[in-house]
Structure 1
Amino acid sequence: MRLKTASKYIFSEMKNSVLIFYLAILLLIVFLAVSVSGVKGSISGMEMTSSIFLFILGLNSFKKNYLFLISNGVPRRTQFKSFFLAAMPIAAGMAVIDSALGIIFNRISNFNSLFNMIYIDRTQNTGNTFISLLWSIALYMCAITLGYFITLAYYRMNKIQKICISIGVPVFFTMVLPYILYNFCSTTTVNWVYNGITTMFGVTGSYGPISAVFVFLIATVLLSVLSYLLIRKAPVKDN
């Protein structure tokens, strides 16, 4: 009973944010359609916008819910399960909505989905719609789980750890990693890594977008395990 009630509560919180998100998207589309009336435009990458939104939603899905539910006697393990029971229909529902919006946008404008832009030469078959939907669901679950994991990790850190991570990670990817690649890695090594990544995500290789689906799902499982390890002994604190 607690699991069902907690899941409904978290789902309700997410649902309200999703409704506001799509309302904003529709208002933006209407505004652009009116302001550029008579000019042929294009809409691209709806999935990326939804992924960023779900990542942010994941970032904001822990602390408030955790403190409220823990004060009402809901165990940490139940809260963990509740989050994913709420997140899965949200991710699947948004994937369906984005697919439907893509069809609508394609009738009134030049619409390109992120999926088609990445796999334009690999999706000319009758299963394209199903694979695209599956790909979007896996991507969205990975995005919201990543956000949930990060906010949990920050919740468990002290102030010094938060500062170190907040500064260290951007510095590593913008300065240290490029320096290492430029000075210590040969062009062959860089190309090998690049080809490995493109193959893993199905841009090249024989598996196509299905490969990316498995990567997103594996990443989601790993992030879920790490999130559980963080939440199972999470203290109750206000700051």
Structure 2
Amino acid sequence: MKLKSIIKYNLNSLKASIAIYYSIFITVCVALLVLSSSSNGSASSSGLEISSAIFIFVAGLNLFKENFYFMKSNNVSRKDFLYGTAASMIPVALFMSIIDIIINRIYNIFMRNPTIYDMVYANIGSGEWYSSINWVQNNSIGTLFNSFMFQASVCLFAISLGFLITIIYYKCNSFMKVVVSISPVVVSILTNIIGTIYPNLMININKFINSIFGFNTQNVYSAILTFVILFVIFIGISRLLTRKAIIKQG
């Protein structure tokens, strides 16, 4: 089975769930508009497109086991399966980002709803859009392009992270699954402890994070590049973990 066939298979496996997601998402948006109709135009929302990143993360969690079994039963190599799956993530992220931008622009006709890009990178300030009923979303080509690229990079990051996590769980025994599950809590506790003992270290870490995501300079391309690099790293780690992956019985 060639990479093209693997990509087609993965896209077909995601098609129905994406359709269901957007059906629910649009229904919720319409419901919010109906509920806000009594607010005399003062109602607002923001960052609804983050739900797409959450959905695609969950999709990534379900993109390994069944597909891996199917590919192995058809004598597809682990390498082809991994790279074919990674390649299939790109059109999904691009497609969903286009749909998110379209929905957002239509939604903004009836209610203010800045995207995450608008709030973080478009010089509107953290509260300007909320406090002013006269806020109007920028629909320039540059803003649309930047919003699309930012959302696409976030989706690529989310789906590859979900894919990597499910591979890690697949490779772990029962004990290690527990360790992996509680590791975010442990990391959070250790971060707080280290931040208390070494405040300057945490300041430097925060500066580094702000720099690579372009928060301080409002440089969205820094964030896009960071998310793309993380996507490549996650796929690389996934490749290493699947090199000797076997089909588990039961």
TM-score by length of 1: 0.91
Equivalent of 2:186 in 161, 171, 191: 171
What SS class does the counterpart of residue 110 from structure 1 fall into?
coil
* Matched-pair contact (CA < 8 Å) for 2:7–2:88: yes
For the structure 1 residues 66 and 126, does the alpha-carbon distance in structure 2 shift closer, same or farther, using more than 3 Å as the test? Answer: closer
CA distance in 2, matches of 1:81, 1:118: 33
Q: Provide the residue aligned with 2:129 in structure 1.
A: none
CA distance in 2, matches of 1:180, 1:44: 33
Measure how far apart 1:122 and its partner are. 8.0
Measure how far apart 1:92 and its partner are. 0.2
Aligned amino acid, residue 204 of structure 1: N
Select between 21-30 and 2-11 the one with higher mean Cα deviation: 2-11
* Matched-pair contact (CA < 8 Å) for 2:33–2:111: no
Q: Provide the residue aligned with 2:63 in structure 1.
A: 61
- Equivalent positions of 1:165-204 (< 5 A) are 165-173=180-188, 175-182=189-196, 184-186=197-199, 188-204=200-216
Measure how far apart 1:48 and its partner are. 1.5
Q: Provide the residue aligned with 2:33 in structure 1.
A: 33
CA distance in 2, matches of 1:172, 1:126: 41
C-alpha RMSD of the superposition: 2.0
* Matched-pair contact (CA < 8 Å) for 1:122–1:208: no
Structure 1 residues 58-103: Cα deviation after superposition (integer angstroms, max 9, x where no partner): 0110001111221122221111122122211110001111111111
Measure how far apart 1:120 and its partner are. 3.1
CA distance in 1, matches of 2:104, 2:36: 20
Q: Does 1:161 align with 2:176?
A: yes
Q: Does 1:134 align with 2:129?
A: no
CA distance in 2, matches of 1:191, 1:136: 28
CA distance in 2, matches of 1:191, 1:166: 28
Select between 7-16 and 161-170 the one with higher mean Cα deviation: 161-170
* Matched-pair contact (CA < 8 Å) for 2:7–2:84: yes
Q: Does 1:234 align with 2:245?
A: yes
Q: Provide the residue aligned with 2:128 in structure 1.
A: none
Structure 1 residues 122-149: Cα deviation after superposition (integer angstroms, max 9, x where no partner): 8987522212211111111111001101
What SS class does the counterpart of residue 42 from structure 1 fall into?
coil
Q: Does 1:8 align with 2:4?
A: no
* Matched-pair contact (CA < 8 Å) for 2:195–2:202: yes
Report percent identity of matched pairs.
31
Aligned amino acid, residue 210 of structure 1: Y
CA distance in 1, matches of 2:87, 2:123: 35
TM-score by length of 2: 0.87
**What residue ranges of structure 2 are gaps of 5+ in the alignment?**
126-137
CA distance in 2, matches of 1:106, 1:238: 50
Q: Does 1:106 align with 2:125?
A: no
* Matched-pair contact (CA < 8 Å) for 1:43–1:111: yes
CA distance in 2, matches of 1:96, 1:209: 17
What SS class does the counterpart of residue 112 from structure 1 fall into?
coil
Q: Provide the residue aligned with 2:163 in structure 1.
A: 148
Q: Provide the residue aligned with 2:228 in structure 1.
A: 217
CA distance in 2, matches of 1:238, 1:64: 13
Q: Provide the residue aligned with 2:75 in structure 1.
A: 73
* Matched-pair contact (CA < 8 Å) for 2:49–2:115: yes
Measure how far apart 1:56 and its partner are. 0.8
Aligned amino acid, residue 28 of structure 1: V
What SS class does the counterpart of residue 113 from structure 2 fall into?
strand
Aligned amino acid, residue 121 of structure 1: N
Q: How many residues align?
A: 235
